[in-house]
A = this chain, B = another copy of it.
Amino acid sequence: MNKVTTEEDIRNILNQMGEKALTAALALALLSPEAKNKCLLRMADALENAAQEIKTANQQDLAAGRKKGLSPALLDRLELTDSRIKAMADGLRAVAELDDPVGRKLSSTVRPNGLRIDKVSVPLGVIGIIFESRPNVTADAAGLCLKAGNAVILRGGSEAINSNLALAHCLNRAGVIAGLPDGAVQLVPVTDRRAVNLLVKMDQYIDLIIPRGGEGLIRAVVEQATIPVIKHYKGVCHLYVDADADLEMALRVTENGKCQRPGVCNALETLLINEKIADKFIPPFVECMRRNQVELRGDEAFCQRVPDAKFATEEDFYTEYIDLIFSVKIVPDAAAAVKHINHYGSHHSDAIITENPETAAFFLRGVDSATVYHNASTRFTDGYEFGMGAEIGISTDKLHARGPMGLAELTSYKYLIYGNGQIRT
């Protein structure tokens, strides 16, 4: 399959996949919750039963990766062990346990002419997932898409092609045995980059593209796509320590937001300190950051108080470090904090620490972000922490889904209208 060279060849392969996915999606939309859950459990078992087969395919990817000189960290992300395969299987079992997101009555109204209009959740149809390296995405994303009644076309990174093909094949086969139509789970077998550019224009088959990866990948998909894309750009998250903050709480939440897991999108990148409490808050804050080996980059007012801090450039305040680096700015009030966040932030997750309810309300209303916190860590922006039971990503878009995306965000709706012969006059 990797020998494919002409664009026409790739297009033909993708069209065949699209047709199969569309047929599968129409059938999936009609399945009962029980039938979908049976499929998910069957798939979980199939992954464990095929562990040897999957690991053999994975060994090919690992060998190619070593030859290509992939870093140990990347090789580790690529590797599939028995425990990781079990984790994927358990993930599918957990998804089976969740409430079914399809068929919920979202609203029901009766019009003066007697028509009853029910708005009911339905699957989106066919979802395309474009992702990098980690092969576990194949099972995780397929499980969530299926639970919401969608067919899925996956496109993983070339480093993991054999692992991904083995996983997708195993899942699709188990689905067919459990009664799903062939094509509910498919993986693009072509590693050629042109496949992505063609895939994201196949709006006759695919209803939604979700790219999972770095900003470069997402941007490239958006540039090419004619299919709607839900984007998960960077998380430049802020904490604002207000004049009326409980400073012990502020320090605890700051440390959690910056240091507990700095490499994730809901970690803090910028701290905004109200100037009225700056002199009191900064010494313990600096001490805490030193203890955590965090590099501080401050504005002028901060650097005056902390001479060994680096000077933050304008660019710093736009930057998602996803590292132990922290930009810091001293602001006169909550309004200045809100203005900074709306300008430099990425509309992801931002927090205020204050005991003043009016200031909190002003901040929560003014900050234009998917999640805005009062007296809590931005690290909670996560589908599981939000009680969604699962997460396919965190949207930085405002359309369709904003913030953590769970199963409900993988559905659309339709209107069912019941009459007794009404006509329009």
Contact = CB atoms under 8 A, between A and B. Distances in A.
A319 interface: no
3 A-B pairs closest in CB distance? A376-B419, A256-B423, A379-B424
A423 B379 contact: yes
Interface in A411-425: 412-425
A342 B204 CA distance: 12
A223 interface: yes
A421 B353 CA distance: 8
A376 B421 contact: yes
Copies of the polypeptide in the assembly: 2
A398 B209 CA distance: 12
Interface stretch (A92-100, A298-306, A362-370): A362-370
Given A30-B365, A379-B424, A418-B375, A412 B398 contact: yes
A354 to B, nearest CB: 12
Chain A interface helix/strand/loop/mixed: mixed
Contacts of A117: 386-387
A414 B369 contact: yes
Interface of A: 26, 29-30, 109, 111, 115, 117, 122, 124-125, 203, 207-208, 222-223, 226, 228-230, 246, 249, 252-253, 255-257, 260, 342, 364-366, 368-377, 379-380, 385-387, 397-400, 402-403, 412-425
A417 B371 contact: yes
Given A253-B423, A380-B422, A373 B417 contact: yes
A26 to B, nearest CB: 6
A417 B372 contact: yes
27 contacts: A26-B366, A29-B368, A30-B365, A111-B386, A115-B376, A115-B380, A124-B398, A125-B368, A207-B398, A249-B421, A252-B421, A252-B423, A256-B424, A257-B423, A260-B425, A369-B414, A373-B419, A375-B419, A376-B417, A376-B423, A379-B424, A380-B417, A380-B422, A380-B424, A398-B412, A400-B400, A403-B414
